[in-house]
Structure 1
Amino acid sequence: MKHPARRWLLGIAATLLLGVGALVWVVSVRLPTDEEVAAKIAEGFEKRFGVALKIGGAHWSLLPVPVLALSEIATDQPRPITLRRLTLRLKLAPLLQRIVAVDDLEIESLVLPRASVRAFRGRGPKPQEDGGNLVALPAPWTLAPVPLEQLRWRDVVWIDRRDIALAYDGDIRFDPGWRPRQARLERAGATTLTRLRLDRLDGQDRWRTRIDVGGGTWNGVARLETPPGGKLRVSAELEPRQVDIESLVHAFGRRTSVAGKVSGHTTLRAEAGDAEELGALIRGLHTRTTFSVQPATLTRLDVAKAVTTVGISRGGTTALDELTGTLDTQGTEDGVVMQYSNLKARSGVLTASGNLKLFNRRLDGEIAVDLVDGVVGVPLKVSGTMSDPELSLTGAALTGAAIGSAVLPGVGTAIGARLGQQVEKLFGGSEPKKKAAPRR
């Protein structure tokens, strides 16, 4: 793998491995004190990234196993990145030959506020300035073919732009070239199992991908490519099977307006250039999922009410036999854009169709409800937010005359009663009551 790809794959671990370089440097001169080790690491971090680092405590030992432990670490930022404890365990035999081989790197309670992490974007030496090495080592020290055997983390918390904090546990075992042999990422504290597992296939740049989420699975194969120019490309083909939508989104601190179990097919693609880092892959991530939910429930929208009242509808529910469509997601600097297309809802013999865009929790879209024996769709506008969605008739359909001419010319004012009957049939309303026969 080319040098830039190495930088991306190790991510945060690369920054923390600066401690190895500092320890090697001081050991090559003389046996340092704990305070000198902490000072050297802080100095190297600030020189590399331009941000001061505070280290509450440090301890190292060479025997019986070389160990470096740091505690109470924090960056000097308005909202600091904090780390309760970091432990490095090195292999002694290679170290005696001036070869750095880290047996285990353990991270405990790392807090990553989004704005603070973004401040590091573009900082640090370029690959051509340090030879692409993750750790700057003084000659004649070198890195082993597998510099890091295992990376483990517990309670790593990401705080997003909406101040939602999500904790993760996990571990990675590496092959040469920084290729993950096995990896696990798990949402700590989720009410249902939410876990990603990767297993390398036959030593190739392909990984069996197993995702447990929402009581179902989202399995498939992921691939890594390094095309000409030093770029890094990740792709995957995944098959969601019986994933409960509400459990899925709740696991990541979100809310949904659709309930049911989803199945379908997902493609994933992300690419980063040679001057970018792991975050560039995440920001540029694009996915496409064709899905089917059977049965489905719109948990915050009452379509029947929106049509029959000819006004804005908030709240309520809509039961569906099936909901299908395509979801495209695209990462941006300001969040993920979610575009739903070819949406089709079915209940009995009647249908509704439409498109919807979701960005920064705001909804924007239209659906057409096929009414009056399925002749024409009545247009509805979808707006509002995820927590307070709204349905309303579009401007062209707000008057009885417009509805009458658009739905079925010549029907006139009688259209209103038929609309109400058909909407109730479509979305599970009660049958209209028959008028009592007049007494003789």
Structure 2
Amino acid sequence: MKHPVRRWLLGIAAALLLGAGALVLLVSARLPSDDEVAARISETFEKRFGVGLKVGNADWSLLPTPMLVLSDIATDQPRPITLRRVKVQLQLAPLLRRVVAVDALEVDSLVLPRESVSAFRGKGPKPHEGANVVALPAPWTLAPVPLEQVRWRDVVWIDRRDIALAYDGEIAFDTGWRPRQARIERAGLAPGLPPARLRLDREAGQDSWRTLIDVGGGTWNGVTRFEMPAEGKLRFSAELEPREVDIQQLVQSFGRNASVAGKVSGRSMLVAETEEVGALMNSLRTRTTFTVRPATLTKLDIAKAVSTAGLSRGGTTPLDELSGTLDTQGTKDGVVMRYTNLKARSGVLTASGNLRLFNRAMDGDIAVDIVDGVVGVPLKIGGTVSDPVVSLTGGALAGAAVGSAVLPGVGTAIGARIGQQVEKIFGGGEPEKKPAPKPSAPQR
């Protein structure tokens, strides 16, 4: 699943910040009115984050159960973060002892445009702050488990391409803000798509969680670990095993279209380190070794590119098997994806290559063997995910023309290969890109 940890962290952070403002109000010498509550929350939020906050309505009561309900909330931004309703329910007995313990926090219809959320970058809680993540005036303190449970419905993340994805979920906490159990599910999937959901179950007394993911009609299960030191960086790692996951259903579940069809299996490793909880996903690195058997390239016709020794767009390529390694690196501008050691097989035809994908732009090289493992026809991959282009480089194309004149078929391939090497020797080709550094293996 793409970006699941970021979704619940952002949802929790947004709701906690609003709830924290309400908790501070309870220390007032006199009970404030609803309008005063709304004004104080707006004032506290703007002072903390430098962004204005409009609270449409605040409704709170102390008895029989301390409760605060805020509705119609929006940040003062060109494209505001909006929240239809948030409800905070506290425990009365601890409150009488000036200890804050929240029974439940419920978030309903939170919309998070990426460009608006980025305004809060660097202003979120730090891992070393621990229990001090919510500041309270003395002598008030937080309970060992400040928040028992958070539930959300219809939390929507809008990415840079304006794709809006909704999520439902809930988290139950242990001490130290450790989730005891968590459930996150893609909401509003198109009819016919199987569920896309994540469940975490904490292993007793450990900072590790059994991870169960259902997506694309298959599973992506394993173990997740969070290391939350008293000082220093938060470290996240996971070891997961995709099994029979339908690639097209997987990407469609997250508003994308796939250029490969088939069911993938393999092994994934994820690592991230950060000094700020909200920046966790930007530091995420992953490595997945995969096999798709059988597979279909849905937007490329490799055979056509080889036979014409020139430019090719569109078409499909059925494969008996496709395998390789996918490395991803999160950045503030998107996720860089690098496919290495790609190997494809279809009957007597085999191919190998590498591909880089960033913001939907493709850049790669493949060699198609028309005599198994002996002659590789060099091809360049360019264009975009939705409109890929396969072609020969200038030198390879010239070599292919000479080879075709001498000996059609195999001669064309040999000529293309020679032309490519000559082009590289004399500096006519693209400079070789250094491979991305491998992510370190998660520590057990």
TM above 0.5, yes or no, is yes
Q: What residue in structure 2 maps to residue 413 of structure 1?
A: 407
What corresponds to 1:426 in structure 2? Answer: none
Provide the rounded CA distance (Å) in 2 between the counterparts of 1:404 and 1:168: 57
Q: Letter of the aligned partner of 1:38 in structure 2?
A: A
Q: CA deviation at 1:418?
A: 8.8
Residue identity in the other structure for 2:225: R
Is contact 2:127-2:230 (8 Å) kept?
Answer: no
Contact 2:246 2:261 in 1 (8 A): yes
Of 260, 264, 270, 1:268 maps to: 270
User: Is contact 2:124–2:277 with CA below 8 Å preserved after alignment?
Assistant: no
Is 1:343 aligned with 2:342?
Answer: yes
- Mapped contact 2:264–2:292 kept (Cα < 8 A): yes
CA RMSD of superposed structures (Å):
2.2
The verdict on how the C-alpha distance between 1:114 and 1:347 changes in structure 2, with shifts beyond 3 A counting, is same
Q: Distance in 2 between matches of 1:210 and 1:261?
A: 18
Aligned length: 402
Letter in 2 for 1:399: A
Q: Distance in 2 between matches of 1:394 and 1:373?
A: 22
Asked whether the equivalents of residues 259 and 298 of structure 2 are also in contact (C-alpha less than 8 Å), the reply is yes
Distance of aligned partners of 1:52 and 1:397 in 2 relative to their CA distance in 1, 3 Å threshold: same
For 1:436, the equivalent position in structure 2 comes to none
| Structure 1 spans left out of the alignment, 5+ residues | 1-6, 406-410, 420-440
Contact in 2 for aligned 1:350/1:374 (Cα 8 Å): no
Q: Which amino acid aligns with 1:348?
A: G
Q: Does 1:62 align with 2:73?
A: no
Q: Which residue of structure 1 aligns with residue 177 of structure 2?
A: 178
Spell out the pairing of 1:82-121 with structure 2 (5 A cutoff).
82-121=82-121
Q: Check 1:380–1:67 CA distance in 2 against 1; reply closer, same or farther (3 A cut).
A: same
Does the 8 Å contact 1:11/1:278 carry over to 2? no
Partners in 1 of 2:214 and 2:133 — Cα distance? 33
CA 1:309/1:326 → structure 2, altered by over 3 Å: closer, same or farther?
same
Q: Determine what percentage of the aligned residue pairs are the same residue.
A: 70
Note if contact 1:114-1:158 (Cα within 8 Å) is conserved in structure 2. yes
The answer to whether structure 1 residue 81 and structure 2 residue 75 are counterparts is no
8 Å contact from structure 1 (residues 19, 41) kept in 2 = yes
How far residue 18 of structure 1 moved from its aligned partner, in angstroms, is: 2.2
1:251 is matched with: 253
1:199 to partner: Cα distance: 0.2
For 1:117-136, list aligned pairs within 5 A. 117-123=117-123, 133-136=132-135
Q: CA deviation at 1:48?
A: 0.9
Which residue of 2 is the match for residue 388 of structure 1? 387
Q: Per the alignment, do residues 314 and 362 of structure 1 end up closer, same or farther by CA in structure 2, a change over 3 Å counting?
A: same
| 1:396–1:402 Cα contact (<8 Å) kept | no
CA contact (8 A) 2:60 2:66 kept: yes
- Please state if 1:225 is matched with 2:220: no
Structure 2, unpaired ranges of 5+: 1-8, 414-444
- Offset, 1:125: 8.8
Q: What is the CA–CA distance in structure 1 between the aligned matches of 2:264 and 2:146, rounded to whole Å? A: 41
Matches within 5 A, 1:8-407: 11-26=13-28, 29-123=29-123, 133-190=132-189, 191-226=193-228, 229-273=231-275, 277-399=276-398, 401=400, 404=403
The amino acid across from 2:183 in the alignment is: R
Cα pair 1:22 1:41 within 8 Å, conserved: no
Q: What is the TM-score normalised by the length of structure 1? A: 0.87
Deviation at 1:136, TM superposition (A): 2.4
1:379 and 1:368 map into 2 onto residues whose CA distance is: 4
Distance 1:401-1:51 versus aligned 2 partners, 3 A rule? closer
* CA positional deviation for 1:417: 9.1
Match of 1:422 in 2: none
**Distance in 1 between residues matched to 2:236 and 2:131, nearest whole Å:** 20
Q: How far apart are the structure 2 equivalents of 1:200 and 1:188?
A: 24
Deviation at 1:165, TM superposition (A): 0.8
What CA distance in whole angstroms lies between the structure 2 residues aligned with 1:68 and 1:256? 45
Could you say if the C-alpha distance between residues 300 and 401 of structure 1 is closer, same or farther in structure 2, counting changes exceeding 3 Å? closer
- Confirm or deny: 8 A CA contact 2:399 2:412 kept in the other structure: no
**Alpha carbons of structure 1 residues 44 and 350: separation in structure 2 relative to 1, 3 Å:** same
Q: In structure 2, how many angstroms separate the alpha carbons of the residues matched to 1:311 and 1:402? A: 10
- Does the 8 Å CA contact 1:21/1:135 hold for their aligned counterparts? no
Cα 1:158/1:36, change in 2 over 3 Å: same
CA deviations over 1:102-158 (Å, ceiling 9, x no partner): 000000000111111111122379899x99623222222111100000001110111
CA deviation after TM superposition for structure 1 residue 353, in Å? 0.3
Paired residues of 1:48 and 1:125 also in contact (CA < 8 A): no
Change (3 A) 1:135 1:414: closer
Spell out, residue by residue over 1:22-51, the C-alpha distance to the aligned partner (whole angstroms, 9 max, x if none).
33233xx11221111111111111111111
Tell me the TM-score normalised to structure 2 length: 0.86
